[in-house]
Amino acid sequence: GTDPVAQGADRATRRTFLLRAGLIAGVGVVLGVAGRVLGSGRRHVEETRRLLKLDGVTEPTLPTGARLPVEGISSWMTPNDDFYLIHTAIVVPTIEPVDWSLRIHGMVDREVVVTYQDLLDSETTEAWITLNCVSNPVGGTLIGNAWWSGVRVADLLERAGVQDGADCVLQTSEDGWNCSTPLAALTDGRDAMLAVAMNGKPLPIDHGFPVRTIVPGLYGYVSGTKWVVDYEVTRFEDVDAYWTQRGWGEMGPVKMSSRVDVPASGAEVAAGEVRFGGVAWSQHTGISAVEFSVDGGPWLPAELGRVPSEDTWVQWTGTAEVEPGDHLVRVRATDADGLVQTAVERDVLPDGATGLDARDFTASA
């Protein structure tokens, strides 16, 4: 005969399977509906963004002499679609401009709430600013230069009235991410702004639409809050921000660096006079010189592009006689204070990588 225990176990197994299948199907339906809702929400915000007309925002015009005529060198202006993307959002926030506001509170004389229309009605500041990520390795590509348009943070903080003793602003994003930004960097005259446009167009959603913070000279992890909705004026000793909780440095100033773009690593070039080129940066300090060295030989001076401010990267180029064979070219920069870029290699943790970029190439007869 049939074993009743086995029959019962079989029925229980089948019930468990059906229950699990039902749960999985249910979760699938919920995720499917959520995906459609999120997708339609994003499409609607994209359409709003496409139709936005931003008075006071101008199209970027490349400064004369900023771009050097070297094939293969990084574009001086980084197109929006090519700009590096780093964020912790699992689902990117989609916010209608009419629903956006920024609350400024904490150690202030009066709480201020800023709407999107308030920003559009305020005086516009515009600037070329290079941003780079603290996790960019030496010679890495997590860097870009854009024409940003927005409203100075200093003006908004002045409206709130910052109290004595405050030394940072805890910025919070719509998705809950936060960072603590040195108050001095927001109020010392640099173009720290609440940006509404990037390269003459409303911010792309993935770059923080409708509003994000831009602070020249600081890595993004302590300054570049996308989808920003809250500024708490406070003190470093009273807050723990997302990345500083995880062992990263508190102040986050950008470290001087440089990169070889030409020749590309592993490239084959004709022996004889070889052209080299790339980019160098030291935001909010500026670059005064760039040198390159082939096979450990003498440091040779490079020609620099002309830039509009100390807050952008600069293109460099130079030529050297190269014999047939395998070679290595290195680059180093000097900042506007006379500091020469260090060759000491350090990892990105806790506050940015150091070392000299190098590219190997072959020269053929």
The pLDDT tens digits of the residues spanning 295-341 come to 999 999 999 999 999 999 999 999 999 999 999 999 999 999 999 99
String of DSSP letters for 10-76:
HHHHHHHHHHHHHHHHHHHHHHHHHHHHHHHHHHHHHHHHHH---TT-----PPTTSS---TTSPPS
Per-residue model confidence (pLDDT) at position 88: 82
Per-residue model confidence (pLDDT) at position 89: 83
In the chain, which stretches have pLDDT less than 50? 1-35
The 10s digit of each residue's pLDDT in 256-299 is 999 999 999 999 999 999 999 999 999 999 999 999 999 999 99
Phi-psi region of 165 (alpha: psi -120 to 50; beta: other; left: phi over 0): left
Question: What is the average pLDDT value for the chain, to the nearest integer?
Answer: 91
Per-residue model confidence (pLDDT) at position 138: 97
Per-residue model confidence (pLDDT) at position 137: 97
DSSP 187: H
Q: Is 80-246 CATH 3.40.50.300?
A: no
Per-residue model confidence (pLDDT) at position 37: 52
Per-residue model confidence (pLDDT) at position 337: 97
Contact present, 269 and 362 (Cβ < 8 Å) = yes
Q: Is 257-364 CATH 2.60.40.650?
A: yes
Q: How many helices and strands (H and E) does the chain possess?
A: 4, 19
Q: Where are the domains of the chain?
A: 1-51, 80-246, 257-364
Per-residue model confidence (pLDDT) at position 17: 42
